[in-house]
Structure 1
């Protein structure tokens, strides 16, 4: 089910994703987590915060033009079913409609750390390290 939804550029239901995340977090024995690509929409955000009782310390937002992302996805050569122009365009549309409101929500709370992902890899990595160093405990 999850693979089919990803191929269509759709978002996996919150209850499935949050359940998997919560289980992994509890099993890990850790108290700090870096969760890639989540929450993807307001429903995910609300479900995660309600179920886990956790609000993120901050989120990383990798800014990059759609043109550059499209070029990178089409050239990453990983043989993924979702690396085709139709699915990529759907994913961009879903991102703008669903994920940007989550970023806006956290931005209002001062919890967004923006990274210019169009920069060379080494610069992006340095910017990520800086973002994390600001909140190291």
Structure 2
């Protein structure tokens, strides 16, 4: 199964991706984790990314795509993968589609976790309190949700127009949401 998980911050993508990884026996590829690993390894792309991040800028689509390309060349993705945190904009979705076509591994599913913004603010505020994360205050969360709406939400339309999108209600217990995802995947 080659799968992309979409959803705003706090929608449960990371939590559900970890469960899907175990259920489907395929790697969970988080671009945040991938970025940190490449920087820590001192790879060429990691060094480029580190330089960009040191300036307080966002890592370019080109660098991210290079990291994705490198990660998808490993043997453990032969039976599929779960992408979490990529693509974040339509340009990245087009680049991913071209990359996967070039390696003969097109996406099989795109799942969007649907959660209302006010519930997301509550979830992230709860997580912030539990983990002592001051950057997850309601105002910053609302700004992140606006960024998501402006740049990542159009990716939903991109996949919807290709008939590849499954919208899943992301509200409920972990087990309820997981069962909905599996049903959307035909599992």
The count of residues paired between Structure 1 and Structure 2 equals 130
Matches within 5 A, 1:58-69: 58-69=109-120
5+ residue gaps in structure 1? Answer: none
Aligned-pair CA distance for 1:52: 3.7
Which stretch has the larger CA shift, 116-125 or 66-75?
Answer: 116-125
Could you tell me which of 65, 77, 98 is aligned with 1:30? 77
Cα shift at 1:73: 0.7
- Please say which of residues 79-88 and 125-134 is displaced more in the overlay: 79-88
Aligned twin of 1:39: 87
The one of 92, 98, 105 aligned to 1:50: 98
The structure-2 alpha-carbon separation of the partners of 1:67 and 1:55, relative to structure 1 and needing over 3 Å to count, comes to: same
8 Å contact kept, 2:100–2:107:
no
CA distance in 1, matches of 2:58, 2:168: 24
Q: Which residue of 2 aligns with 1:98?
A: 151
Query: Greater strand percent: which structure?
Result: 2
Partners of 1:15 and 1:47 within 8 A in 2:
no
Query: Once the 2 structures are TM-superposed, how far is the Cα of residue 88 of structure 1 from its aligned partner?
Result: 1.3
* Normalised TM-score (structure 2): 0.60
Give 2:62's aligned residue.
Answer: 15
User: Relative to structure 1, is the Cα distance of residues 38 and 58 closer, same or farther in structure 2, using a 3 angstrom cutoff?
Assistant: same
Structure 2 unmatched runs, 5+: 1-48
Q: CA deviation at 1:112?
A: 0.8
3-state SS of the aligned residue for 2:166?
strand
Matches of 1:16 and 1:80 in 2, distance apart?
28
**Residue-by-residue CA offset, 1:87-130 (whole Å, 9 max, x unaligned):** 31221111111111110111111111111111222110101111
Q: Aligned Cα RMSD in Å?
A: 2.5
